[in-house]
Chains A and B, each alone.
Chain A
Amino acid sequence: GQQLNQSPQSMFIQEGEDVSMNCTSSSIFNTWLWYKQDPGEGPVLLIALYKAGELTSNGRLTAQFGITRKDSFLNISASIPSDVGIYFCAGLEGGGSQGNLIFGKGTKLSVKP
């Protein structure tokens, strides 16, 4: 099925460093979402983006909705150990499949204290 291309696949960083990850698609999405998943848990929504070009922050997290509506990035500033986890981008389908989420493969973040 349709998938988003998410990179990098994994990151190993030092506590306090900034992190950047991105997501691209061959299809247009009208809504982009970023989720975080901890081991044994379901994904938890971090940021939702609804308009092309939109830049939205949630604490140390900042995400942007690409102007072409085919890409998005997520930045985490001043990383801390609890940022460890897998980050997924997701596009919200429209039309007849409205409401269905298409996920990337995830970026696994490891933070060294």
Chain B
Amino acid sequence: GAGVSQTPSNKVTEKGKYVELRCDPISGHTALYWYRQSLGQGPEFLIYFQGTGAADDSGLPNDRFFAVRPEGSVSTLKIQRTERGDSAVYLCASSSTRGDTQYFGPGTRLTVL
């Protein structure tokens, strides 16, 4: 079956612009996670959704970052007033429920010039 998909695969933007990154989880998975992976690092947790609600957003670095999952399926990570330090690969993962095996998408590589 289909895995986790993320679009776009690459996004180049200018400092100060707004970007949206999309995640399509595995069908039926209620838990959805966003991670950020900087060059040479492991992924770092950003936010977790159970259904439509953000159950844990403790990993979001500041209030420029926001994510939604309005219908409990597709999620969008939104970054306002992008900074060069936001450049990274943004990974999405889903699991059937919290604590179960997380399946990762291929990521979106964000480059802020």
Contacts and interface: CB of A to CB of B under 8 A. Distances in A.
B91 A42 contact: yes
Contacts of B99: 92, 98-99
Interface string B95-110: 1001101111111000
Nearest to A41: B106
A48 B104 CA distance: 15
Given A1-B59, A99-B31, A102-B45, A42 B105 contact: yes
Interface of B: 4, 31, 33, 35, 40-45, 48, 56, 58-59, 91, 93, 95, 98-99, 101-107
Contacts of A96: 56
Interface residues of A, number: 25
Given A97-B56, A100-B59, A88 B106 contact: no
B67 to A, nearest CB: 14
Contact of B98 (A1, A6, A44, A99): A99
A101 B107 contact: no
A22 to B, nearest CB: 15
A1 B44 CA distance: 8
Given A42-B4, A99-B98, A100-B48, A3 B42 contact: yes
A100 B45 contact: yes
A89 to B, nearest CB: 8
A43 B33 CA distance: 13
A102 B45 CA distance: 7
